[in-house]
């Protein structure tokens, strides 16, 4: 894979994994790298980063997907003389350990921490910066992990695509959160997220099991959503740049001393070039129509879920 990257990366995509403690974030992080399921739980001290091999369909594009395993509050296991190295995939990760870590001497630790001693976590780093997609996990058998996920959904930037994972699907007989609760919460959040990128930033949901590998294929396919959005944004920027270059070139040619005044009048090609500002306005009008249609769709879905809940009260899904 490293040899392939050396040929030149065409796209750099960043995906972060978030969730409450013990929801399977680190297990998914390892599974996405091709590793096996590990039964033993190991606390993640700080953010970890890895590059995974990924292709969109049969495209020949070289796509570097950077996966971040994020914890909220980090602990610092790294020696003072060794800073985390983000390039080798061993550095960046944040703690999922339950409860705060109490140092022996809090005051001295706080005042004497050097940059080398600061744990990399969501409290010290804006993990959403330059992020293209978010995988948000919860445990279907623990309601508080779902509460965490819903709270976090509301602070994720609206231009990012989100995949919500209900993990521990192999324990579905013990689930404490019904699908109706999940879909209703997603519908409420999606109604608020209908903004600039209606199709791409809608929250999607799937249930998974890191033990059996169920849902991993869906996650792999989901990466196509942030990738296509990234590709679309790059192409839009390139189109705008080339349009401006074309206009500039035409103006330069028409102002040339080799062109007569009469010929200059006839060379009205520049006027036929589409105005980028007008295209933006037309795109905004189109998006407004899409937003209106999506809001109607979510309202309809919300009403349908509410009607179903009366007959599903207390029901557990298997």
Q: What is the pLDDT of residues 254-297, one digit of tens each?
A: 776 666 666 655 555 445 555 566 666 777 777 777 767 766 76
What token pair was written down for 282? 């037309």
- Does position 168 have pLDDT exceeding 90, yes or no? yes
pLDDT, mean of residues 143-165: 93
pLDDT at 45: 85
**Of residues 149, 119, 174, 179, the one with CA closest to residue 25:** 149
**Considering the entire predicted model, what is its pTM?**
0.68
Top-confidence range, 109-118, 224-233, 261-270: 224-233
Q: Tell me what percent of the residues of the chain surpass a pLDDT of 70.
A: 65
Decide which of 225 and 61 is more confident. Answer: 225
Give yes or no for residue 41 having a pLDDT over 90: no
pLDDT band at 142 (very low <50, low <70, confident <90, very high): very high
- Comparing CA positions, the residue from 144, 127, 164, 167 lying closest to residue 24 is 167
Residue of 40, 36, 222, 45 lying closest to 120 (CA atoms)? 45
């Amino acid at each position: 894979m490293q040899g392939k990257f050396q040929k030149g990366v065409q796209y750099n995509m960043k995906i972060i994994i978030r969730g409450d403690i013990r929801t399977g974030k680190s297990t998914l992080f390892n599974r996405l790298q091709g590793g096996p399921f590990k039964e033993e739980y190991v606390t993640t001290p700080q953010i970890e980063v890895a590059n995974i091999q990924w292709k969109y369909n049969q495209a020949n594009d070289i796509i570097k997907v950077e996966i971040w395993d994020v914890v909220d509050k980090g602990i610092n296991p790294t020696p003072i003389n060794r800073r985390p190295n983000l390039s080798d995939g061993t550095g960046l990760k944040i703690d999922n350990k339950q409860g705060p870590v109490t140092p022996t001497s809090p005051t001295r630790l706080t005042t004497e921490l050097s940059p080398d001693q600061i744990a990399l976590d969501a409290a010290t780093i804006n993990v959403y910066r330059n992020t293209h997609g978010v995988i948000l996990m919860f445990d279907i058998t623990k309601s508080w992990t779902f509460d965490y996920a819903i709270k976090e959904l509301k602070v994720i930037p609206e231009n990012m695509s989100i995949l919500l994972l209900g993990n521990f699907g192999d324990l579905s007989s013990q689930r404490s959160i019904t699908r109706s609760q999940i879909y209703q919460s997603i519908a409420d959040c999606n109604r608020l997220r209908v903004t600039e990128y209606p199709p791409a930033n809608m929250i999607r949901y799937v249930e998974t099991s890191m033990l059996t590998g169920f849902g991993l294929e869906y996650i792999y396919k989901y990466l196509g959503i942030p990738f296509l959005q990234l590709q679309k944004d790059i192409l839009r920027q390139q189109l705008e740049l080339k349009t401006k270059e074309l206009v500039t070139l035409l103006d330069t040619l028409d102002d040339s001393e080799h062109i007569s005044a009469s010929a200059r009048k006839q060379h009205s090609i520049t006027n036929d070039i589409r105005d980028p500002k007008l295209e933006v306005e037309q795109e905004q009008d189109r998006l407004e129509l899409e937003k209106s249609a999506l809001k109607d769709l979510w309202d309809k879905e919300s009403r349908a879920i509410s009607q179903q809940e009366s007959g599903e009260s207390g029901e557990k899904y298997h």
